[in-house]
Amino acid sequence: MFEALKPQPADKIIALMDQFRTDPRADKVDLGVGVYKDAAGHTPVMRAVRAAGRRLLDTETTKTYTALAGDPAFHAAMAGLVLGADCPADRLAAVATVGGTGAVRQGLELLKRARPGFRVWVSDPTWPNHLSILAEMGIEARAYRYFDADSKGVDFGAMMADLGGVQAGDVVLLHGCCHNPTGANLTLPEWQAVGDLLERTGALPLIDLAYQGFGDGLDADAAATRLLARRLPEVLIAASCSKNFGIYRERTGILLTLAQDTTRRDLVQANLTTLNRLAYSFPPDHGARLVTTILTTPDLRADWEAELEAVRNGMIALREALAAELAALSQSNRFGFVAEHRGMFSRLGATPDQVERMRAEHGIYMVGDSRINIAGLNARTVRLLARAMIAVGV
Ligand code: LMR
């Protein structure tokens, strides 16, 4: 039976995690997978998550099933977090999913049911797993240019030129904030222009929102999503709680879908519920319940927001330190983009050969396209990275 299976290429990001683990060097530096780490290199359980966990332990009286679409209280709490106070609840369908990846997958499954043969426009580059999922599902992917290799910012002119090919019924996959892998993001006026294009063409946005709170703040990071949600009749949002709540292994995510009207919302909701049943019956609940408890309990929410802000400010400080170190070593401002980028990642613009030399000669691990996880740095390793970059000629 199994002989016909094809060997599988390892996922690049996950393979890098394994390679780092088996490297015996004591001074190795992990800037690979997108996981937050404190200055000691530890990924902590957030204070509010710990407190919510204790409360649940004391008050939860059952572990029976919730609902196929997940707990409605989780839907409401996340809709508020993502879409804000003026969320159009009468047009909103939602399903709890297995992490943000599960939300992307279920969103694409929904679209496949709604419109077989649709195409998805993806930024070049994008999170590699987007492309893998699309390929696995047999969905046509079209790339739009995004990253300007010279400025390390968004090449908005090229992006809009490519998106000029978008047609009604196409789907445009957008990173709501904190673009992965580049760290380069659109300005709000640029998002307006994307909204104009989507409105004009009748294309539908699928917004991957995996890092809300890691860029400029919870509301600022949701601003683009809210802007599109206000303007467009149909919007899909795949939101992850892995990073901003630090509950990676709980696999907590949600797919929020705005439909044109309540009748279509009900259809979407029924289909999403069926898709959950077909894929895994009931979605995981523990992480969703932690998130709901935090978002609906004022003292826990305040503490979570404060800790998230500290995490965000820490990453911005690391960006500034790295940019300053590189400015001093290179006697130039060509690395100023590191401080401008937002979120966990920056693409440094090193060649694959330079990336490999930084790993082999300096024990610094980053993804092959020179994406670094800013949160993997600390005051000491900022200097090591900057020296290594200059040493290999970045
Ligand atoms: C990343 O891009 O490093 C994260 O989203 C983790 C993952 O699953 O790839």
Q: What pLDDT, in 10s, does the model give residues 353-385? A: 999 999 999 999 999 999 999 999 999 999 999
Cα separation of 146 and 347, whole Å?
Answer: 12
What ligand 1 atom has the least distance to the C-alpha of 181? 2
The arrangement of strands across the sheet holding 119-124 comes to 92-98, 252-258, 235-240, 204-209, 171-175, 119-124, 140-145
Looking at residue 8, what is its pLDDT? Answer: 93
The rounded percent of the chain whose pLDDT value lies above 70 is: 100
Q: Which residue has the tokens 């599109």?
A: 228
Q: What is the mean pLDDT of residues 201-225?
A: 98
Torsion angle (degrees, nearest 10) of CA 166, 172, 178, 181: -80
Catalytic residue status for 155: no
CA of 334 to the centre of ligand 1 (A): 27
Regarding the beta carbon of 33 and ligand 1, being less than 6 Å apart is answered yes
CA of 89 to the centre of ligand 1 (A): 31
CA of 34 to the centre of ligand 1 (A): 5
Regarding the beta carbon of 133 and ligand 1, being less than 6 Å apart is answered no
CATH code for residues 10-46+310-391: 3.90.1150.10
- The pLDDT tens digits of the residues spanning 177-199 come to 999 999 999 999 999 999 999 99
Catalytic residue status for 124: no
pLDDT mean across residues, the chain: 97
pLDDT band at 248 (very low <50, low <70, confident <90, very high): very high
Catalytic residue status for 127: yes
- The pLDDT tens digits of the residues spanning 11-54 come to 889 999 999 999 999 999 999 999 999 999 999 999 999 999 99
Asked whether residue 89 carries a pLDDT value surpassing 90, the answer given is: yes
Q: What is the mean pLDDT of residues 324-342?
A: 98
Cα separation of 79 and 386, whole Å?
Answer: 41
Within the chain, all domains assigned CATH 3.90.1150.10 are found at 10-46+310-391
CA of 127 to the centre of ligand 1 (A): 8
Regarding the beta carbon of 127 and ligand 1, being less than 6 Å apart is answered yes
Within the chain, all domains assigned CATH 3.40.640.10 are found at 65-296
Residue 24's alpha-carbon distances to 19, 28, 34, 159, 171, in angstroms, are 10, 8, 22, 43, 45
Residue bearing the CA closest to ligand 1, atom 9: 13
Residue bearing the CA closest to ligand 1, atom 5: 34
- The pLDDT tens digits of the residues spanning 294-327 come to 999 999 999 999 999 999 999 999 999 999 999 9
Cα separation of 92 and 262, whole Å?
Answer: 8
Looking at residue 86, what is its pLDDT? Answer: 83
Fold of 65-296: Aspartate Aminotransferase; domain 2 (3.40.640)
Residue bearing the CA closest to ligand 1, atom 1: 34
Q: What is the mean pLDDT of residues 149-155?
A: 97
